[in-house]
Amino acid sequence: MKNDIPKVLKIAEVRDENPTVKTYVFRSYDLGAKPGQFVNLWMPRVDEKPFSVSYCDKDEFWLTIAAVGDFTRKLRDEFSVGDKLGVRGPYGKGYTIPEGKKIALLAGGYGAAPLYFVAQEAVKKGCTVEFIVGARNKDLLLYLDRIDQAEGMNLYIATDDGSSGEQGYNTQILERLIGDVDIVMTCGPEIMMRAAMDICDKAGKPIEVSIERYMKCGSGVCGNCCVDGLGVPVCTKGPVMLGSEARKIKGLAEFHRDNVGFKVVW
Amino acid sequence: MNTSIDFCGAKFPNPTVLASGILGVIGDSLKNVAEIGAGGVTSKSVWLERHEGHKNPTMMGSEHFYINAVGLPDGGIDKAREELGKYLEWKNSQPEGKRVPLIGNIVAGTIADFENIAGQMAEIGPDIIEVNISCPNVEDEFGRPFACVTADAAEVTRIVKSVSKNIPVAIKLSPNVANIGEIAAACEKQGADAITAVNTFGPGMVIDIDTAEPILANKVGGVSGPGIKPLAVKRVWDVAQAVSIPVIGMGGVLTGRDVIEFMMAGASLVGIGAGVFYRGSEIFSDVMLEVEEWMKENGVKDLSEVIGKAVKYGIGCRG
């Protein structure tokens, strides 16, 4: 039975992650999301926006959200425990988590949140996880303690300014580790993901990437998130796809499209 | 077995058409739908200039209905020239019989703008120009749709025909009138080459009872999906009897049997829109497999035979 109407839930808990990012916890609702999937979050009279899921089990799920636009700043400033928001989804294809493999996760900035969900499921399936995070500076990193304290996950950090971990891009760490891993999963800026695809291609390792586009319906209907080259909506045929598939997107890491389909340079 | 349909001088490989507003933002998306198996593809409604549309939520659905108030967001005619141009270039590179016709849909808020946009769309060169005078979701901006007043619908038709050169023009009508047949006939009299019936019903509304808030940002939206199918079939029936030009029928089509039902009511082509929500973009190939199975079971060799069958005399019950 097809039902795609927002379900209103109360915020059960709000956690500060870093100066701009908070995690919103919703409880007593079985969202049934897999790592890499996303939901649409409805704020009545304001807007509805897509957010990836950073944790989900039978009783609760988390959305980790940076206050960077009108919607997310309003969420940060005006919403707290007990307030109501509408949720629908989960939407899209998630990451394919294998059993007993060596996985490298490459997170750029906020990408650490959805990849933390991947890491948890991967460890449950007997995988070892090399968790590589990167950001412009230490204030933009998140989930470090959770990753560091988890069994089966090794944390690596790179920042552009060297304020945490090694100075430079996180992809240079991936380059060092690639020989020892079976598969790479990445989430972050498209230019970083493309660099990771190049590293994986060279090493002959598979990679899954998460393609972000302006989304409206989440159901593959409106066409706003269709990518050039492939011609498919990434809300249903992605957001997670194999690197070999993402290669067919024309303008990958070069442009995306706005709410009316206009090209915008990344 | 022949499923192709000749429509206003264009050859559609099958009668299914991607409806306007669905998967029509970029040229490569239209190409993807054509490759999946649609018989024709329609662009999103193209404005002269960039048009923002409404905030989200803009659409949602249940098992019975789909409702939307997207508000016709579009990048304007210059973007359309690039994207539709890309599609046409691909289409023309295909072998004959595999060229999936393009319907270029246009919209405007005034008669003068319709003249301008229609002329520019004609230069792009789609197989058919479809004129959206029936969107229920921009009433706050532009008032009552032209399709709801017979004289207005006729005047838009006249002005579009005056600049569309040799490209056939289909007028897309609203079901939210008491006299759709009369309006269709008035468009035909002004030179319309086809009628598209119908746009969405309503407007309707969905209220979330936990917050007591209408869910669509626009509060109201056009209703489509399986629940409105019998209403749409009747509108197509009314139009088909009122005019002698061909009809693109649509409204809640989910299956091959639905396609045949619309054709029997008088449609030559059948649009699929909300159906993509229910069965994915693969609906076009799936539905045609169902149509072909029905044709085989019923000994129909040429699908165009069923057009208007129910209007004319019916098939009857005898074995």
Query: Which contiguous run of DSSP H or E holds residue A122?
Result: helix A112-124
Tell me: do A125 and A237 sit in the same domain. yes
Q: Which value, in Å, is the radius of gyration of the alpha carbons in chain B?
A: 18
pLDDT, residue A136, reads 96
Residue B55 sits at the chain A interface (C-beta within 8 Å): yes
pLDDT, residue A1, reads 59
Q: Chain A window 190-229: which residues touch B at a Cβ cutoff of 8 Å?
A: 216-217, 219-224, 226-229
What whole-number distance in Å separates Cα of residue B106 and Cα of residue B102?
13
Question: pLDDT tier at B137 (50, 70, 90 boundaries)?
Answer: confident
The label of the residue with tokens 């249940």 reads: B62
Which chain B residues contact residue A230 at CB under 8 A?
Answer: 28, 32
Residue A231 sits at the chain B interface (C-beta within 8 Å): yes
Tell me: do A206 and A126 sit in the same domain. yes
B156-160: long-range pairs with CB below 8 Å, 24+: B156/B111, B156/B114, B156/B131, B157/B131, B157/B186, B157/B187, B157/B190, B157/B191, B157/B192, B158/B190, B158/B191, B159/B111, B159/B114, B159/B115, B159/B118, B160/B106, B160/B114, B160/B115, B160/B118, B160/B129, B160/B131
> At residue B318, does pLDDT exceed 80?
no
**Residue A69 maps to a domain:** yes
**Residue A165 maps to a domain:** yes
Buried (b) or exposed (e) across B133-169, using 16+ Cβ within 10 A? bbbbbbeeeeeebbbbebebbbbbbbbbbebbeebbb
Catalytic residues of B: 135
Question: pLDDT tier at B102 (50, 70, 90 boundaries)?
Answer: very high
pLDDT, residue B319, reads 58
Average pLDDT, chain B: 96
Q: Which of A3, A46, A226 sits opposite B62 (nearest CB)?
A: A3
Chain A residue with minimum CA distance to B23: A223
CATH code of the domain containing A49:
2.40.30.10
CB contact under 8 A, A221 and B29: no
**Residue A67 maps to a domain:** yes
What whole-number distance in Å separates Cα of residue B103 and Cα of residue B169?
9
What does the pLDDT look like over A150-190, one tens digit per residue? 999 999 999 999 999 999 999 999 999 999 999 999 999 99
> At residue B317, does pLDDT exceed 80?
no
Tell me: do A163 and A216 sit in the same domain. yes
CATH code of the domain containing A149:
3.40.50.80
Tell me: do A138 and A11 sit in the same domain. no
Residue B211 sits at the chain A interface (C-beta within 8 Å): yes
Mean pLDDT value of segment A19-30 = 96
Residue B227 sits at the chain A interface (C-beta within 8 Å): no
Residue B61 sits at the chain A interface (C-beta within 8 Å): yes
Tell me: do A125 and A252 sit in the same domain. yes
Q: How many domains does chain A have?
A: 2
What whole-number distance in Å separates Cα of residue A40 and Cα of residue B15?
35
What percentage of chain B's residues is helix, strand, coil (to nearest 5)? 40, 20, 40
Q: Which of A3, A223, A260 sits opposite B51 (nearest CB)?
A: A260
E-strand stretches of chain A: 7-18, 21-27, 38-43, 47-56, 60-66, 84-91, 102-108, 128-135, 153-159, 166-167, 183-187, 207-210, 240-242, 255-257, 263-265
Q: Which of B25, B50, B280 sits opposite A226 (nearest CB)?
A: B25
Q: Where a domain ends, among A38, A62, A91?
A: A91
% of residues, chain A, pLDDT over 90:
98
Tell me: do A224 and A109 sit in the same domain. yes
What does the pLDDT look like over A61-92, one tens digit per residue? 999 999 999 999 999 999 999 999 999 999 99
pLDDT, residue B26, reads 97
Tell me: do A75 and A112 sit in the same domain. no
CB contact under 8 A, A231 and B32: yes
What whole-number distance in Å separates Cα of residue B32 and Cα of residue B160?
30
How many angstroms away from the CA of A136 is the closest CA of chain B? 31
Residue B79 sits at the chain A interface (C-beta within 8 Å): yes
- What is the sign of the dihedral through the CA atoms of B117, B160, B11 and B264? positive
CB contact under 8 A, B60 and A6: yes
Domain that holds residue A20: 7-91
Residue A69 sits at the chain B interface (C-beta within 8 Å): no
Tell me: do A248 and A123 sit in the same domain. yes
> At residue B315, does pLDDT exceed 80?
no
Residue B213 sits at the chain A interface (C-beta within 8 Å): yes
Which chain A residues contact residue B277 at CB under 8 A?
Answer: 2, 4, 217, 219-221
Tell me: do A75 and A109 sit in the same domain. no
CB contact under 8 A, A47 and B52: no
| ipTM of this complex | 0.95
pLDDT, residue B143, reads 83
Mean pLDDT value of segment B267-284 = 98
Tell me: do A87 and A160 sit in the same domain. no
Tell me: do A85 and A106 sit in the same domain. no
Q: What is the pTM of this model?
A: 0.96
How many angstroms away from the CA of B153 is the closest CA of chain A? 27
Question: pLDDT tier at A9 (50, 70, 90 boundaries)?
Answer: very high
What does the pLDDT look like over B31-63, one tens digit per residue? 999 999 999 999 999 999 999 999 999 999 999
**Residue A96 maps to a domain:** no
A25 by Cβ neighbours in 10 Å (0-12 / 13-18 / 19+) ranks as middle
Query: How would DSSP label each residue in A59-96?
Result: SEEEEEEE--SHHHHHHHHH--TT-EEEEEEEESB---
Q: Which overall architecture, per CATH, does domain B5-312 show?
A: Alpha-Beta Barrel (3.20)
Q: Where a domain ends, among A31, A62, A91?
A: A91
User: Considering only CA atoms, which of B315, B152, A140 is closest in space to residue B171?
Assistant: B152
Q: Where a domain ends, among A58, A91, A124?
A: A91
Tell me: do A81 and A108 sit in the same domain. no
% of residues, chain B, pLDDT over 90:
93
What whole-number distance in Å separates Cα of residue B8 and Cα of residue B231?
26
